[in-house]
């Protein structure tokens, strides 16, 4: 049986529409104290095993053909539109029939939604009636309700000639403490930047406390734990570009005028450059041609440019950006991933990472 992506697209569009309705300002947003209290006593706290298991249960409903049962878990405000419910149910049922039974779970992970207290469960599967791997994304709020349910074919853009690139610069993670890899790795399932030619191997990191990236209701940057945190030089180098005067966005309101926002570009040896973008306004105290050492503060985590919420955005690239730039896979050295030491490696979405003690790992060979 032929797998038809337009069925997937229909579910994505409908789910997006349903989520938009459920998150519309029909109800007055909670204040910081109320939001914090609700999280403390929530049945399905963000990033908790309970939230992950709840999402798996909803996926089991999909596998069992119980689309109407999934719809029943959406917020009451969304379910008031009976026509949306009929479309959602019919589309999911058709999709289930087209895909057939799930034959393999390739991988799964959870992450926090950045703008409200919800857990995003992502599952990569194989199904009997298609050769294309399928991604299911379920968004669970802290009451156990569904804020989004999408099913789509896994996009597989070619990674190009840089896919197996090995860097020559001994890079360290650009922050202190433990952070969650929000985007990172090879393949669209782990890294949405794989869809972008000039940012294919870029990555994002967020700072969590009790599974959440923010306190309160996420309406101000200051509520995000990472906002204002020092961003560090990944390696020794020379500053070749700085932007520092762009205002930070309110959460959820990115600006496309200057997508990089406040940024710093650091030149290393071997035609390798570290790009750190979306920094906090006026946090970069360096200027062109300044020299930096690995671990030096170069700015602060911000929310400028095309950023929707504060996070550290990093990319290794092969030029200053003119006339063209190519994103490169970055191998970090001497770090901890999910509690295990990694001498040299690439970070992957869903990992909790931090810098570790220096090891005796030899540096990468010089390029010839």
Reply yes or no: is the peptide bond before residue 75 cis, omega within 30 of 0. Answer: no
pLDDT tens sequence across 71-87:
999 999 999 999 999 99
Q: Which of 156-170, 179-193, 262-276, 285-299 has the lowest mean pLDDT?
A: 156-170
- From 364, 351, 352, select the one nearest 185 (Cα to Cα): 351
pLDDT in tens, 58-67: 999 999 999 9
pLDDT, tens only, 236-266: 999 999 999 999 999 999 998 899 999 999 9
Percent of the chain with pLDDT over 90: 81
Q: What is the pLDDT of residue 278?
A: 98
Q: Hey, where are the domains in the chain?
A: 5-153, 160-355
Query: Are 5-153 and 160-355 the same fold in CATH?
Result: no
| pTM listed for this prediction | 0.87
Contacts of 36 (CB under 8 A, 6+ apart): 215, 216
Say if domain 5-153 classifies as CATH 3.30.420: no
Position 28 confidence tier, pLDDT thresholds 50, 70, 90: very low
Condensed to tens digits (0 to 9), the pLDDT of residues 127-152 reads 999 999 999 999 999 999 999 999 99
pLDDT at 341: 97
Q: What is the pLDDT of residues 29-41, one digit of tens each?
A: 445 444 554 555 7
Classify domain 160-355 at the CATH superfamily level: Glucose Permease (Domain IIA) (2.70.70.10)
Band (pLDDT 50/70/90 cuts) for residue 25 is: very low
Residue 333 has pLDDT above 70, yes or no: yes
């Amino acid at each position: 049986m032929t797998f038809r992506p337009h069925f997937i697209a229909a579910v994505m569009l409908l789910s997006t529409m349903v989520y938009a309705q459920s998150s519309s300002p029909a109800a007055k947003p909670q204040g910081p104290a109320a939001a914090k209290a609700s999280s403390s006593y929530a049945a399905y706290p963000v990033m908790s095993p309970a939230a992950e298991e709840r999402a798996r249960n909803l996926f089991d409903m999909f596998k069992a053909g119980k689309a109407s049962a999934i719809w029943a878990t959406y917020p009451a405000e969304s379910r008031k539109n009976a026509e949306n419910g009929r479309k959602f149910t019919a589309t999911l049922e058709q999709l289930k029939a087209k895909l057939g039974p799930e034959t393999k779970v390739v991988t799964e992970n959870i992450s926090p939604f950045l703008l409200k207290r919800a857990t995003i469960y992502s599952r990569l599967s194989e199904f009997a009636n298609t050769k294309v791997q399928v991604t299911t994304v379920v968004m669970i709020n802290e009451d156990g309700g569904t804020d989004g349910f999408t099913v789509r074919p896994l996009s597989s853009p070619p990674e190009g000639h840089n896919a197996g690139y090995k860097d020559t610069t001994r890079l360290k993670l650009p922050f202190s403490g433990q952070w969650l890899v929000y985007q990172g790795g090879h393949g669209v399932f782990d890294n949405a930047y794989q869809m972008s030619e000039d940012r294919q191997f870029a990555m994002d990191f967020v700072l969590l406390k009790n599974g959440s990236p923010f306190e309160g209701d996420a309406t101000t940057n200051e509520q995000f734990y990472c906002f204002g945190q020092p961003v560090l030089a990944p390696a020794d180098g020379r500053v070749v570009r700085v932007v520092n005067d762009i205002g930070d966005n309110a959460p959820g309101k990115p600006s496309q005028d200057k997508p990089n926002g406040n940024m710093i570009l650091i030149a290393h040896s071997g035609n390798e450059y570290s790009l750190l973008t979306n920094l906090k306004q006026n946090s970069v105290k360096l200027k062109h041609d300044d020299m930096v050492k690995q671990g030096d503060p170069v700015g602060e985590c911000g929310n400028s440019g095309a950023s929707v919420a504060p996070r550290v955005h990093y990319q290794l690239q092969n030029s200053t950006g003119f006339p063209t730039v190519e994103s490169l896979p970055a191998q970090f050295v001497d770090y901890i991933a999910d509690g295990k030491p990694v001498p040299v490696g690439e970070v992957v979405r869903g990992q909790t990472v931090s810098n570790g003690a220096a090891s005796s790992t030899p540096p990468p060979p010089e390029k010839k």
